[in-house]
Amino acid sequence: MDIIKLPEYNIYIGHIQRALRHFVTDRQYSQHLLIADENTATHCLPILAEYLADIPFKVITIPPGEVHKNIQTCEKIWSSLMHNQTDRRALVLNLGGGVIGDMGGFCAGTFKRGIDFIQIPTTLLSQVDASVGGKLGIDFADIKNSIGLFKNPGAVFIDPVFLKTLPKREITSGFAEIIKHCLIADRDQWNSLQLVKNLEQVDWTALIAHSVLIKKQIVESDPFEKGIRKALNFGHTIGHAIESYFLSSKTPLLHGEAIALGMICEAHLSFQRQGLTNQELEQILSFIKTLYPQPIIPRDSFQELIHLMQNDKKNVDKKINFSLIQPIGQVHVNQEAETDEIKASMHYYNSTVN
Amino acid sequence: MDIIKLPEYNIYIGHIQRALRHFVTDRQYSQHLLIADENTATHCLPILAEYLADIPFKVITIPPGEVHKNIQTCEKIWSSLMHNQTDRRALVLNLGGGVIGDMGGFCAGTFKRGIDFIQIPTTLLSQVDASVGGKLGIDFADIKNSIGLFKNPGAVFIDPVFLKTLPKREITSGFAEIIKHCLIADRDQWNSLQLVKNLEQVDWTALIAHSVLIKKQIVESDPFEKGIRKALNFGHTIGHAIESYFLSSKTPLLHGEAIALGMICEAHLSFQRQGLTNQELEQILSFIKTLYPQPIIPRDSFQELIHLMQNDKKNVDKKINFSLIQPIGQVHVNQEAETDEIKASMHYYNSTVN
């Protein structure tokens, strides 16, 4: 069991049973409400129920997927809490991926002006990404996470046992955030990562703990995303746009898959604008290519993608904001790029697709 | 101009023009979005527009009244913000009573995970009550303020000029909170208050400043409503239930009117359980009776009222929580009362109605 201590809460990584039971019983909550989606209710809840054993809890189940991460689902969750006569001394347990963590946390954080909640992320993406930083929210008017708040959970419990419930593609997708954390902050770990050839033979507890620690250090120095925290945005400006674009296609990409492509494009921007070397760019490209699908980004969609980037909530005055790297392991926030350079980076990516 | 300094923001009371202009221009916001309801847009906005003069702003107007303080109106506000391409460096100005402050603050506090907002309360109630404490929220599933958060505004600007736009009944309603602040915390001011015979001849700047100061001291010692802040709940446990009950009647009460009756009942509870003297009880009764309407609370509705009290979000484990006084000027939080005692207090109130 690894424990990462943040000023306001702890992150437990490994076999979480004992720490979880201790946390829940110690605080003597009036009630325990567990929020799951239909998938985690089927695959993860049996494991968690065994961990909790004699601790009573009620389950609120919602339909799975980003498409339900909206205010209508929040209304269902709030209604269920109300229906269960949940009071301010109750605990919400969010069991699931990023959607459950973001939305369940938002609902708990706003129910009766905020009740305690803990995160039990079950996907690799949410384990390395969503467990630090207190960012909660839902999608609104087609913009991801456009309604939400910053609020820390009571604790985060990360158990690699849940990764066994995931399809391989989900694991690879989540791995993109681990790659990102190395690229922006840890060249040594990046070098070690190059040795990973098979995601089925990995010490997840160690790898997740290392990745969470990087994120923790960045978030702690900038809790409200005023400056350096934007470092975590590497790959995400273009990646989010790619994700939105392919969402309505026949072959939607998982979040991490889109971010992986976004990292190739933004590594190219880093090459164009920051002097990242060609050798480093190609090293990033070749590692990502061994792991991720590589759809062509249609040339006639470039303008639409740029428009999506302009609507990103991190922008100020409608300029497109990037976090770029140079060299690998160092990041430079608040970089702007010209439309032509952004298009060139997508051309570059397309040109590398076989 | 009185300035009350809180750790995170200032409250300006008096002729606010200069302070408001200074605040807004000094921070160089990317945009100014003013939220008003149809009433304040008509009666208060012209005054504020004159104050702002050359400072550009856009207006978001919503329908007036508590009945619109819901998630559907929030969606309209969020959509308007989105439509105006509001970014994270924008400022929201909430111009109106408690509904606008609570809901506009909630919308700003959750838009893109939180943008700056200032409160410009225009009713006496919101000037003395809603301007301190950072409580934001909306009604949900018929429960008042059941969804919301704690978040401080950038500043609060209280200008008595707006009181001239209000009907007399609204002024009297808001005055109930001033009475409450004296009853729970300031016996001397209570004694002075007894001399007020006509609410049209009052130095509002001084009276509001004094009342806000009392609330500030209580809120500062308990920002998240874990303990002593419940003091502010005096009159509200029964008062909220009375307000909800009369909401669907032919003669609904204004918030402060219901709270005034709640204070009579809870003074009687204080007499039954805390040893408030009969003389003090009658002093409270007689002062409130000179100012407020006194509808009979139908005896056959007592059980329904008790049920409403049980659903109050401040309750833990479904027990009904009171803040009681003894003597006038001192408050005792986390007091419970038996159902029979609560009913007796309502009987007492009814028996005093001529």
DSSP result, A121-139 = E-SHHIIIIITSS-EEEEE
CA distance B85 to chain A (A): 8
- Strands (DSSP E) found in A86-217: 91-96, 116-121, 135-140, 143-150, 155-158
In the predicted model, is pLDDT for residue A314 greater than 70? no
3-state secondary structure A38-83: HHHHHHCHHHHHHHHCCCCCEEEEECCCHHHCCHHHHHHHHHHHHH
Q: In this complex, do A140 and B82 lie within 8 Å of one another by their Cβ atoms?
A: yes
Q: What's the domain count of chain A?
A: 2
Q: Say whether both B299 and B320 belong to one domain.
A: yes
Inter-chain CB proximity B88 and A113 less than 8 Å: no
Are B233 and B322 members of one domain? yes
Calculate the alpha carbon distances from B220 to A81, A286, B227, B287 in Å: 29, 56, 11, 29
A160 and A214 together in one domain:
no
The residue out of A135, A165, A195 marking a domain boundary is A165
How large is the angle between the packed helices B236-247 and B339-352, nearest 10 degrees? Answer: 70
Same domain, A109 and A177: no
Range of the domain at A31: 2-165
Please answer yes or no on whether B111 and A147 come within 8 Å at the CB atom: yes
- Is A286 found in the same domain as A160? no
- Is residue B150 domain-shared with residue B247, that is, in the same domain? no
Asked if B237 and B258 sit in the same domain, the reply is: yes
The structure tokens listed for A168 are: 């391989």
Last residue of a domain, one of B165, B195, B224: B165
Q: Which residues of A touch B75 (CB under 8 A)?
A: 71, 140
**Residue A152, pLDDT above cutoff 70:** yes
Average pLDDT, chain A: 94
* A130-144, A248-262, B305-319: range with lowest mean pLDDT: B305-319
3-class DSSP string for chain B: CEEEECCCCEEEECCCHHHHHHHHHHCCCCCEEEEEEHHHHHHCHHHHHHHHCCCCCEEEEECCCHHHCCHHHHHHHHHHHHHCCCCCCCEEEEEECHHHHHHHHHHHHHECCCCEEEEEECCHHHHHHHCCCCEEEEEECCEEEEEEEECCCCEEEECHHHHHHCCHHHHHHHHHHHHHHHHHHCHHHHHHHCCCCCCCCCCHHHHHHHHHHHHHHHHHCCCCCCCHHHHHHCCHHHHHHHHHHHHCCCCCCCHHHHHHHHHHHHHHHHHHHCCCCHHHHHHHHHHHHHHCCCCCCCHHHHHHHHHHHHCCCCCCCCCCEEEEECCCCCEEEEEECCHHHHHHHHHHHHHHCC
Residues A114, A55 share a domain: yes
Q: Is the pLDDT of residue B248 over 70?
A: yes
- Measured torsion, CA atoms of residues B228, B229, B231, B233, in degrees rounded to the nearest 10: -150
Report pLDDT digits (tens) over A267-308. 999 999 999 999 999 999 999 999 999 999 999 999 999 999
Distance between CA atoms of B262 and B237, rounded to whole angstroms? 7
User: Do residue B114 and residue A316 have CB atoms under 8 angstroms apart?
Assistant: no
Q: Round the average pLDDT of chain B to a whole number and report it.
A: 94
Place of tokens 């079950």: A122
Q: Are residues B147 and B7 in the same domain?
A: yes
User: Is residue B318 very low, low, confident or very high in pLDDT (cuts 50, 70, 90)?
Assistant: low
Residue of A79, A135, A141 lying closest to B79 (CB–CB): A141
Segment A100-129 mean pLDDT: 96
Cross-chain Cβ contact B30/A316 below 8 Å: yes
Helix (H) or strand (E) holding A334: strand A331-336
Mean pLDDT of A53-62: 97
| Alpha-carbon gap, residue A310 to A317, rounded angstroms | 9
Q: What is the pLDDT of residue A245?
A: 93
* Reported confidence tier of residue A316, pLDDT bands at 50, 70, 90: low
Q: Which among B71, B88, B150 has the least Cβ separation from residue A114? A: B150
Q: Are B309 and B221 in contact (CB under 8 A)?
A: no
A77-81, B94-98, B141-145, range with the lowest pLDDT = B141-145
For A12-45, b/e burial (b = at least 16 CB within 10 A) is bbbebbebbeebbeeeebebbbbbbbebbbeebb
Residue of B nearest to A312 (CA): B87
Comparing CA positions, the residue from A334, A283, A328 lying closest to residue A185 is A328
CATH number at residue B13: 3.40.50.1970
**Contact call for residues A322 and A269 (beta carbons, < 8 A):** yes
**Domain identity same for B151 and B215:** no
Q: What is the mean pLDDT of residues B324-348?
A: 95
Nearest-angstrom CA–CA distance, A123 and A138 = 18
CB contact under 8 A, A149 and B146: no
pLDDT of residue A227: 81
User: Of B147, B309, B320, which to mutate for an interface test with A (greatest number of A Cβ within 10 Å)?
Assistant: B147
A149–B149 CB contact, under 8 Å: yes
| Chain A interface, best mutation among B112, B144, B319, by max A CB count within 10 A | B112
Mean pLDDT in residue range B286-315: 90
Mutate to test the interface with B, among A28, A77, A89, A113 (most CBs of B within 10 A): A113
Q: Which two tokens stand for residue A101?
A: 């963590």
Could you give the angle at the alpha carbon of B177 between the alpha carbons of B175 and B179, nearest 5°?
75
Nearest CA in chain B to A112: B146
**B49 with B141, same domain?**
yes
Distance in angstroms (rounded) separating the CA atoms of residues B156 and B247:
30
Count Cβ–Cβ pairs < 8 Å, chain A vs chain B. 100
- In the prediction, which pLDDT does A59 show? 98
Q: Which residues of chain B neighbour A139 with C-beta distances below 8 Å?
A: none
- What is the average pLDDT across B91-117? 97
> Over the stretch B65-89, which tens digit does the pLDDT of each residue have?
989 999 999 999 999 999 999 999 9
Nearest Cα of chain A lies from the Cα of B163 at a distance, in angstroms, of 29
Q: What CATH number did the domain enclosing B220 receive?
A: 1.20.1090.10
Residues A138 and A223 in one domain: no
Contact A161, B127 (CB under 8 A): no
pLDDT at B190 over 70: yes
**Is residue A196 very low, low, confident or very high in pLDDT (cuts 50, 70, 90)?**
confident
**Residue A221: pLDDT band by 50, 70, 90 thresholds?**
confident
Last residue of a domain, which of B165, B200, B217?
Answer: B165
Mean pLDDT across B258-271: 98
What is the rounded distance in angstroms from the CA atom of residue A127 to the CA atom of residue A44?
Answer: 14
One-letter amino acid of B139: D
